[in-house]
RNA sequence: GGCAGGGUAGCUCAGAGGCCAGAGCAGGGGACUCAUAAGCCCUUGGUCGGCGGUUCGAAUCCGCCCCCUGCUACCA
């Protein structure tokens, strides 16, 4: 009864691919992106690792694409320099926030180029890619075709004279650059002219029915993801051009296309596969990636923000179907958006909390906690600094951190800094308390496996609350003077609950869970101990604890709010 | 315009045909004092966006309307 119990909701040893959105390497990641994809992916990966499953968590910098080029030209530098600079900020953010990638690479690697070109070639051979003509704007002075963002002109909808070719910032309408009135090139003072250009197209229309048959039975997908995808398929997918007249990107592996590149939306999703191969090669087992990509035992989860859903539920699956042999996604647990103080995050208005800034000023676990509690799994949610301070102080500090602190300081003071011995038979409420922790492993596991992380965290925190209640009922601070054995039992049980909670919370709060684990007298890495309550045995010396979390002052709210939008 | 999601207590959000609609916080009261004055107990508070319908019974299903958000695919 005093031992631990292990949940067995699914066989250990399963291969889990945790595929996470590739951030565009032209700005640092902000809090919304963290909450939307990186944090949920990390929680999911950490849990599965503890369960003994074989996790491969990959992503990388999306180093190609027009915004990287635009930024490079604006700064008078190269696209390489731009993406490498932001790649470094990504790595710092993952380290600072504990986002535990097995590999975070980039699309600018020889491996990725080879894998992307292989995908292109096979789809071309199978006639899922074909060549066609497209009318695009051409700058006769610069001697090149212009991406939509390189064209400016008068908006055909609202008449704003400074609309970009892809979208008008004034009225928000999107358009084809050919629709602009009085177009002008951003590369020269020339007037762009429409010209025919040859491009390759992905035959998405050929996959419409197969995709529909595949998506229809995915009832474990989030309703918003499945419904949205079925809506796209009902309207019918259109073939899309997958090449552009650019020099920065993956070259087309055919003669005579030196001035064209694969377009990022086609090429970047291949990164999941190329990163898996790169990871395998780096371990000295180049074929090891197959375990996550072939066979019914492996499962692939693609963590995304909602804006990326079409790419992961239609385009990438279509590419995989066309390519053959590889597994399709098991789930695409896309999140909605986290808004900042009521408004959508926006780079141009600087309405965002940039993660490098956060990491420089604050601790990782409180933000991981707050963003998990607010995770926009069903609808958009709103982040405010007031809510951050409130949840930190009332929930992390008061409910969980204080539980750890009160139990350990009381025990050390009264029982010679060691875990006290309980009587041979535990009181019913003590047994019930231990059973509650052990039962929580099953419950939290079920929520995480269903990618319902908010509920998972809530279930774990519910145990902390039950433990505070248990302490209050047993009042060991009183019992220690009248009935020492009674107090010993209470504190022994409470320390074991803390040990279990440290593990339950580890996927969410990896930094402080490791500390709480050590406070229980355990040595080594909490993750290695597995998804189960590690028993704390009587007599174990207890190190001196310190508070796991800082209580935050309300002044922080105003300080941080004032940084938004300026 | 089209498509999707949402409008539930002062605030942030759960619930998706059936006991008197829930949680946390905020507000009110209480017992305790080990702990970062934290924890625990009790409690005030809602015509579940509006109107109609289906049903023995509807936040929960259907229709219409109002409002918010996102997407609308060469932004990825």
Q: What is the pLDDT of residue A386?
A: 87
Q: What is the mean pLDDT of residues A13-24?
A: 92
Q: What is the pLDDT of residue A5?
A: 34
Q: What is the pLDDT of residue A159?
A: 67
Range name among A168-177, A181-190, A494-503 with the lowest pLDDT average: A168-177
User: What is the C-alpha radius of gyration for chain A, rounded to an integer number of angstroms?
Assistant: 27
Helix residue ranges per DSSP H, A138-258: 208-215, 223-235
Within this chain, domains A15-127+264-360 and A129-201 share the same CATH topology: no
pLDDT tens track for A523-559: 999 999 999 999 999 999 999 999 999 999 988 988 8
Distance A464 CA to B8 C1' (A): 28
**Buried b / exposed e along A142-159 (16+ C-beta atoms within 10 A):** eebbbbbbbbbbbbbeee
Q: State whether the beta carbon of A271 lies below 7 angstroms from any atom of strand B.
A: no
Q: State whether the beta carbon of A282 lies below 7 angstroms from any atom of strand B.
A: no
Question: What CATH class has A15-127+264-360?
Answer: alpha beta
Cα–Cα distances in Å, from A230 out to A171, A217, A302, A306? 29, 11, 18, 15
Q: What is the pLDDT of residue A157?
A: 63
pLDDT tens track for A253-283: 999 899 889 988 899 999 999 999 999 999 9
Closest nucleotide over all strands to A465 (CA to C1'): B39
Structure tokens of A254?
A: 């055919």
Report which of A250, A300, A227, A222 is spatially closest to residue A110, judged by C-alpha positions: A250
Q: State whether the beta carbon of A420 lies below 7 angstroms from any atom of strand B.
A: no
Given a contact cutoff of 8 angstroms between Cβ atoms, the answer to whether A289 and A280 are in contact is yes
Per the DSSP assignment, residues forming a β-bridge with A418 are A541
Report which of A5, A38, A119, A52 is spatially closest to residue A359, judged by C-alpha positions: A38
Task: Name A residues 37-76 whose Cβ lies under 7 Å from strand B.
Answer: 62, 65-67
Distance A227 CA to B3 C1' (A): 10
Q: State whether the beta carbon of A365 lies below 7 angstroms from any atom of strand B.
A: no
Distance A373 CA to B13 C1' (A): 10
Q: State whether the beta carbon of A257 lies below 7 angstroms from any atom of strand B.
A: no
Range name among A41-45, A352-356, A516-520 with the lowest pLDDT average: A352-356
Q: How far apart are CA A276 and CA A291, in angstroms?
A: 10
For A418, phi then psi, to 5°, come to -135, 160
The ranges assigned to domains in chain A are 15-127+264-360, 129-201, 369-376+384-529
Query: Residue A181 — very low, low, confident or very high, per pLDDT cuts 50/70/90?
Result: confident
pLDDT tens track for A475-527: 999 999 999 999 999 999 999 999 999 999 999 999 999 999 999 999 999 99
Report which of A123, A103, A504, A40 is spatially closest to residue A276, judged by C-alpha positions: A103
Query: H helices then E strands: how many in chain A?
Result: 22, 15
The 3-class secondary structure across A485-520, one letter per residue, is: HHHHHHHHHHHHHHHHHHHHHCCCCHHHHHHHHHHC
Q: State whether the beta carbon of A452 lies below 7 angstroms from any atom of strand B.
A: no
Q: State whether the beta carbon of A92 lies below 7 angstroms from any atom of strand B.
A: no
Higher pLDDT, A466 or A382: A466
Q: What is the mean pLDDT of residues A179-196?
A: 79
Q: How far apart are CA A429 and CA A348, in angstroms?
A: 57
Structure tokens of A32?
A: 């919304």
Q: State whether the beta carbon of A239 lies below 7 angstroms from any atom of strand B.
A: no
Q: What is the pLDDT of residue A171?
A: 55
Higher pLDDT, A58 or A176: A58
Distance A294 CA to B47 C1' (A): 56
Share of residues in chain A with pLDDT > 70 (%): 94
At the topology level, CATH places domain A369-376+384-529 in Isoleucyl-tRNA Synthetase; Domain 1 (1.10.730)
Q: State whether the beta carbon of A140 lies below 7 angstroms from any atom of strand B.
A: no
Q: State whether the beta carbon of A195 lies below 7 angstroms from any atom of strand B.
A: no
Q: State whether the beta carbon of A167 lies below 7 angstroms from any atom of strand B.
A: yes
Distance A560 CA to B68 C1' (A): 26
Closest nucleotide over all strands to A265 (CA to C1'): B76
The 3-class secondary structure across A333-357, one letter per residue, is: CCECCEEECCECCECCCCECCEHHH
Q: What is the pLDDT of residue A160?
A: 67
Residue nearest to nucleotide B31 (CA to C1'): A472
Q: State whether the beta carbon of A201 lies below 7 angstroms from any atom of strand B.
A: no
Higher pLDDT, A11 or A434: A434
The answer, yes or no, to whether residue A453 has pLDDT greater than 50, is yes
Q: State whether the beta carbon of A478 lies below 7 angstroms from any atom of strand B.
A: yes
- Half-sphere exposure (Cβ direction) of A288: Cα atoms closer than 13 Å: 16
pLDDT tens track for A401-438: 999 999 999 999 999 999 999 999 999 999 999 999 99
Q: What is the mean pLDDT of residues A10-22?
A: 84
The answer, yes or no, to whether residue A234 has pLDDT greater than 90, is no
Q: How far apart are CA A81 and CA A98, in angstroms?
A: 26
Q: State whether the beta carbon of A381 lies below 7 angstroms from any atom of strand B.
A: yes
pLDDT tens track for A365-378: 999 999 998 888 87
Distance A229 CA to B67 C1' (A): 26
The strand pair at A193-202 and A240-241 is best described as antiparallel
**CATH code given to domain A129-201:** 2.170.220.10
- Cα pseudo-dihedral A261, A267, A268, A274, rounded to 10: -120
Closest nucleotide over all strands to A308 (CA to C1'): B76
Q: What is the pLDDT of residue A357?
A: 93
Closest nucleotide over all strands to A406 (CA to C1'): B35
Q: State whether the beta carbon of A235 lies below 7 angstroms from any atom of strand B.
A: yes
Average pLDDT over chain A, rounded to whole? 88
User: Under 8 Å CB-to-CB from A149, ≥6 apart: which residues?
Assistant: A66, A67, A70, A164, A165, A166, A186
The protein footprint on chain B, as nucleotides within 7 A of a CB, is: 3-7, 12-16, 24-26, 32-36, 38-41, 69-76
DSSP-based three-state secondary structure for A270: helix
Task: Report CA torsion sign: A94, A97, A98, A99.
Answer: negative
Range name among A20-24, A227-231, A405-409, A446-450 with the lowest pLDDT average: A227-231
Q: State whether the beta carbon of A243 lies below 7 angstroms from any atom of strand B.
A: no
Q: How far apart are CA A445 and CA A448, in angstroms?
A: 5
Q: State whether the beta carbon of A549 lies below 7 angstroms from any atom of strand B.
A: yes
Q: State whether the beta carbon of A379 lies below 7 angstroms from any atom of strand B.
A: yes
Largest CA distance in chain A: 94
Q: What is the mean pLDDT of residues A457-470?
A: 92
């Amino acid at each position: 009864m005093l031992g631990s119990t292990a949940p067995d909701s699914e066989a250990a040893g399963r291969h889990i691919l945790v595929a996470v959105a590739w951030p565009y390497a032209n700005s640092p990641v902000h809090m919304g992106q963290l909450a939307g994809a990186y944090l949920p992916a990390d929680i999911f990966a950490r849990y599965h690792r503890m369960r003994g499953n074989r996790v491969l968590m990959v992503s990388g910098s999306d180093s190609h694409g027009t915004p990287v080029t635009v930024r490079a030209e604006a700064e008078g530098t190269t696209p390489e320099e731009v993406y490498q600079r932001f790649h470094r900020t990504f790595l710092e953010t993952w380290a600072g926030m504990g986002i535990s990638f097995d590999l975070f690479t980039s699309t600018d690697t020889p491996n990725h180029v080879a894998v992307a070109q292989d995908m292109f070639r096979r789809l071309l051979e199978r006639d899922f890619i074909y060549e066609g003509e497209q009318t695009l704007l051409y700058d006769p002075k610069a001697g090149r075709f212009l991406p939509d963002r390189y064209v400016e002109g008068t908006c055909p909808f609202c008449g704003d004279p400074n609309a970009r070719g892809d979208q008008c910032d004034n009225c928000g309408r999107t358009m084809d650059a050919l629709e602009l009135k009085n177009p002008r090139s951003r590369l020269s003072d020339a007037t762009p002219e429409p010209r025919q250009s040859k491009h390759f197209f992905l035959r998405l229309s050929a996959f419409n029915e197969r995709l529909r048959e595949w998506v229809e039975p995915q009832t474990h997908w989030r309703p918003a993801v499945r419904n949205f995808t079925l809506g796209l398929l009902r309207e019918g997918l259109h073939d899309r051009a997958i090449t552009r007249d650019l020099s920065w990107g993956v070259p087309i592996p055919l003669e005579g296309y030196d001035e064209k590149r694969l377009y990022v939306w086609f090429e970047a999703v291949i990164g999941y596969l190329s990163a898996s191969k790169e990871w395998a090669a780096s371990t000295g087992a180049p074929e090891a990636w197959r375990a996550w990509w072939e066979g019914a035992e492996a499962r692939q989860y693609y963590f995304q923000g909602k804006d990326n859903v079409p790419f992961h539920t239609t385009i990438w699956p279509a590419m995989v179907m066309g390519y053959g042999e590889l597994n399709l996604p098991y789930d695409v647990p896309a999140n909605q958006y986290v808004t900042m103080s009521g408004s959508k995050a926006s780079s141009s208005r600087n309405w965002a909390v940039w993660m490098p800034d956060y990491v420089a000023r604050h601790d990782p676990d409180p933000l991981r906690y707050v963003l998990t509690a607010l995770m926009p799994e069903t609808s958009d949610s709103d982040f405010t600094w007031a809510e951050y301070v409130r949840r930190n102080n009332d929930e992390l500090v008061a409910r969980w951190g204080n539980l750890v602190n009160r139990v350990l300081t009381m025990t050390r003071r009264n029982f010679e800094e060691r875990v006290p011995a309980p009587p041979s038979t535990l009181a019913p409420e003590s047994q019930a308390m231990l059973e509650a922790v052990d039962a929580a492993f099953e419950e939290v596991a079920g929520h995480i496996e269903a990618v319902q992380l908010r509920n998972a965290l809530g279930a774990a925190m519910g145990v902390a609350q039950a433990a505070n209640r248990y302490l209050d009922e047993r009042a060991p601070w009183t019992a220690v003077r009248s009935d020492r054995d009674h107090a010993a039992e209470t504190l022994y049980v409470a320390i074991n609950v803390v040990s279990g909670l440290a593990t339950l919370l580890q996927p969410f709060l990896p930094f402080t869970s490791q500390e709480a684990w050590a406070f229980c007298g355990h040595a080594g890495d909490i993750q290695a101990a597995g998804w189960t309550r590690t028993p704390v045995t009587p007599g174990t010396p207890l190190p001196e604890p310190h508070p796991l979390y800082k209580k935050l002052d309300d002044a922080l709210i105003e300080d941080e709010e004032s940084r938004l939008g300026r």
